[in-house]
Structure formats: structure tokens, C-alpha cells
Amino acid sequence: MSLVEGGRLERRLVVKSPLPSRLTTRRLARARNIADLRRLAQQRLPRAIFDFIDGGSEDEVTLRENQDAFRRVRFSPKTLVDVSNVNTKIDLLGQTADLPVIVGPTGASGFVWPNGDLALARAAAKAGIPFALSTSASVSIEEIAAMSAGRRWFQCYIFKQREFTMRLIERALRSEYDALVVTVDFPVGGNRERDHRNDFSVPFRYSPRNIFDFAVHPGWASTILQHGIPKLRNLDGFTASNDAMTVASSVGRNYDASFSWDDLKQIRDSWPGKLIVKGIVRPDDADKIVALGADALVVSNHGGRQLDGGIATLDALPAVSVAVNQRITVLVDGGIRRGSDVVKAIALGANAVLLGRASLYGLCAGGEAGAQKAIDIVRSEMVRTMQLCGIPDVRSIGPDALSQRTSDSGMGTRGERTILAAY
């Protein structure tokens, strides 16, 4: 399939993502951290849309625990170390990344900013880090490849229609994506109660509640009126309608709950590039991923959006890292809101982290400029943390950067001995 077959690609994206207003630009300039970007996102978006990206499943225990796990970890800084120049570059799956950070896959980004996935991809490229495109993106695999210059990964869900899944993978291969990210922790959709309370249902209902909510958020509403309801471009041909309002919440119903290790092995055998398996929290599963021949795994619980009550990813990370024993790359996501969280994750066994809500809050607040702001915040916080901890090179971050106290860590002595054994 040609990227520009019949001129369709150019016509599809003749309407570009809007630039932020002067007021939005001023507000972005005043944002000091990811929490500030989250507040800007909450102000700009209708509640139903904000809760869709911000919320988790059921009581949102896992959603909170992902962040709380980082708060329990303490640094043990070294002093009298020359940290006037700090190196943040790493080798990530055979290529240099300017930060140990990836902009992770976040579906339906077109809800919050027109062509939002393209804005995220371009922000990642400017930062010198990879971008992972979601299956549920509002910009297609081919469009991202044609219109963004950075490293591209494609995140793939497994649908009951296996032929459709394989076509997605073939499209990513033809478009020369660097890596395939297969999500394995989502056999069925979670119980997202915020969506139900907000009348965010399938098919989408314009209830008095959400009509009023849209009306009092004119900035967001005007972009939807101007650019139209976003389409999930990678799902063209999958359903009769691929309107984001309709498909995003229902697509979990179409995932293949029978997908197994043998099926993942078939994908490994057919995909010639880097394979990343996302959604691992158990050491025994991690060992199987290594044996399968994957290049990397992501310690992930889907940001607490599906199973509630699951282990926090940072708490799961040390044991997974030991099981992998440096044989493949270990990534982690979930709860990362500070540059210091990146340092903590690396100290506990990760090679790099994926940003999810952090970069998405920036996109919500101000499009590509907001996404860049989010990455810049994480970068500056990470560099400052390394300097204050006496760590001049990201490649030298290890468990000795952390306090060995166990009373507050939530990991216990066994967890700390485990991660120490990995180094």
C-alpha cells in the first residue's frame, strides 16, 4: 500500500493541529510540573473527556498505588562528586536516546487535541526519544511515518479478528517502524466507572449532563466543531463506524481473550524487527518472554485502567529485573510524574521508562507545545535529581542511589536484596 496512494494522505492531513492560543502559551510557560499540566488539562477538557484519560478502573486502587510506590522510595545521595556535566543518553534497543524515556502509547489522543498523536510523535522526535503509536490512535500508522521524523514504535492490541491484527502489524512493517509493542495485559476491558458516571457510553449518548459539560468548555468544543469527531484511523475497516466517541470505549470488547504464548511466538517469528511485550508484572512471565526471543518487556499494569487491585509497577519491577538478568531490555510505566521517578525506576532495575498520562496531560493542555513542555519538565527534574544525588551519568544509576531503609519503601528486605542481586 502506497503511503500517498491517490493523494489520500495529503488530503487527510491538510488540516493541521492548531497552535495553542496566547493565553494557553502563557499558562504553559507558568507550569512548573506535571501536576500543573494536569490542572490545565482538567480546566480545558469536559469532565467526561478528562476522566477518560485520567481515570482508572473500579476503586482506582492500582491507579493510586502506581504513584504511591514512587513516593515510598527514598534517595541516599552521594556528595563531593563532579556533576557539572550530566549525561542522560542511553543505548536503547541499538540506538541512542537522549533520555531514558519513551512517549508511550495513549489511545484516542484525538479526543483532547486534533491530530494529537502526531503532536506527541513530533514532540518526542524533538526530544530525541522514541514515540509509541497506539492502535487506537487518531492518526494512522502511515501518516505518522510520513509526517514525523523520530523513532517510531507501534503498539498492537490483539483482536478477535486475527487477520485484522496481522494487517496492522504488516502495515507497521511496511512503514518501517523500529519496534512492535504487543500489549498482553488486556484480554478484556476493565470496569471504568468514571466513564459510566459521566454518561461516556457506547454508543455515545448526548445526555443533558455532558451537553452542558461540553458547552462550558468552549475551547475544546470549538476544536471538535472545527475538526470533527476524531476517527481511529488504524481501525478503518474494522467496524462499521470508527468514530473515536464510539470505538474507544468499546474496543476492549473485541480483544481476543484466547491469545496465548503460542500465539505470541507466532508474532515473534513473523516480525523481523525489535519486539517489545507490554504488560508483564510477574518474574515467571518475564523469564518466558526472554525465552520467547523478545527484545524488551514493559513492566506495566495498563496504568490501573483495567484490573484494579493489581501490584504497582514499581513494586513489581525489582523481581522482574532479576528474572531477566540483563538478557533483554526492561522498561516500566505507570505512575511516573517526576524526573526523580525516572531515576528511581532505573535504580530499581529499569533501562528506561514510558510516559503515559504525563505527556498526555501536556498534550491536553497545549498540543505539541504542551507535550514538549511535559518532556522538558521530566528532563530538567531528572538532571537536577542526578546532580543532587551525585550521579553524573545515567548509566551509573544503581540501587546504591536509594536508601536501604525498608520501613517506608513498601518493598521489604527481600525486595531490596532482590534488586541488589541484579547488579
Q: How much is the average pLDDT of 216-243?
A: 79
Contact criterion met (CB below 8 Å) for 347 and 318: no
Contact criterion met (CB below 8 Å) for 364 and 370: yes
Question: Which is more confident, 169 or 200?
Answer: 169
Amino acid at 273: G
Q: Residue 7 has what pLDDT?
A: 40
3 state DSSP class of 382:
helix
- Nearest of 15, 60, 52 to residue 247 by alpha carbon: 52
Q: Which residue has the cell 522526535?
A: 125
Tell me the C-alpha distance between 64 and 62, whole Å.
5
Largest CA-CA distance found in the chain, in angstroms, rounded? 64
Q: Residue 8 has what pLDDT?
A: 45
pLDDT band at 112 (very low <50, low <70, confident <90, very high): very high
Determine if the peptide bond prior to 203 is cis (ω within 30°). yes
Q: Which residue has the cell 531515576?
A: 343
Angle, CA of 45, 227 and 196, to the nearest 5° = 40
Q: Judge whether 302 counts as a catalytic residue.
A: yes
Q: How much is the average pLDDT of 195-216?
A: 76
Please state whether beta strands 95-97 and 179-183 pair in parallel, antiparallel, or not at all (unpaired).
unpaired
Q: Residue 29 has what pLDDT?
A: 95
Q: How much is the average pLDDT of 267-287?
A: 98
Residue 332 C-alpha cell reads as: 516500566
pLDDT band at 416 (very low <50, low <70, confident <90, very high): very low
Q: How does the average pLDDT of the chain come out, rounded?
A: 88
Q: Residue 16 has what pLDDT?
A: 64
What distances in angstroms separate CA 202 from CA 209, 265, 363, one per listed residue? Answer: 16, 34, 25
315, with CB counted inside 10 A (0-12, 13-18, 19+), is: buried
Of 9-13, 28-32, 277-281, 372-376, the range with the lowest mean pLDDT is: 9-13
pLDDT for residue 326 is more than 50: yes
- Whole-number percent of the chain with pLDDT over 90: 72
Q: List pLDDT tens digits, range 329-379.
A: 999 999 999 999 999 999 999 999 999 999 999 999 999 999 999 999 999
Tell me the C-alpha distance between 65 and 305, whole Å.
12
- Whole-number percent of the chain with pLDDT over 70: 87
The neighbouring-strand residues paired with 91 are 96
Residue 154 C-alpha cell reads as: 507501534
Q: How much is the average pLDDT of 164-191?
A: 95
Angle, CA of 325, 98 and 73, to the nearest 5° = 55
Q: List pLDDT tens digits, range 296-309.
A: 999 999 999 999 99
b/e sequence 204-238, b meaning 16+ C-beta within 10 Å? beeeeebeebbeebeebeebbeebeebbbbbbeeb
End-to-end CA, the chain: 47
Please list, in sequence order, all residues whose beta carbon lies within 8 angstroms of the beta carbon of residue 151, skipping any fewer than 6 positions away: 95, 97, 124, 125, 129, 130, 131, 178
Residue 146 C-alpha cell reads as: 510520513
Residue 158 C-alpha cell reads as: 490483539
**H or E element: which one contains 97?**
strand 95-97
Amino acid at 215: A
pLDDT for residue 190 is more than 50: yes
Of 108-112, 145-149, 275-279, the range with the lowest mean pLDDT is: 108-112
Domains detected in the chain: 5-421 (3.20.20.70)
Contact criterion met (CB below 8 Å) for 116 and 140: no
Please state whether beta strands 179-183 and 274-280 pair in parallel, antiparallel, or not at all (unpaired).
parallel
pLDDT band at 204 (very low <50, low <70, confident <90, very high): low
**H or E element: which one contains 102?**
strand 101-103
pLDDT band at 4 (very low <50, low <70, confident <90, very high): very low
Question: Which is more confident, 39 or 243?
Answer: 39
Q: Which residue has the cell 504553559?
A: 28
- C-alpha radius of gyration, the chain, whole number: 21
Residue of 196, 217, 227, 302 marked catalytic: 302
pLDDT band at 419 (very low <50, low <70, confident <90, very high): low
Residue 171 C-alpha cell reads as: 502495515
Residue 2 C-alpha cell reads as: 502506497
Phi first, then psi: what are they for 90, rounded to 5°?
A: -135, 160
Amino acid at 308: D
Q: List pLDDT tens digits, range 41-94.
A: 999 999 999 999 999 999 999 999 999 999 999 999 999 999 999 999 999 999
Contact criterion met (CB below 8 Å) for 297 and 332: no
- Nearest of 7, 15, 11, 6 to residue 224 by alpha carbon: 15
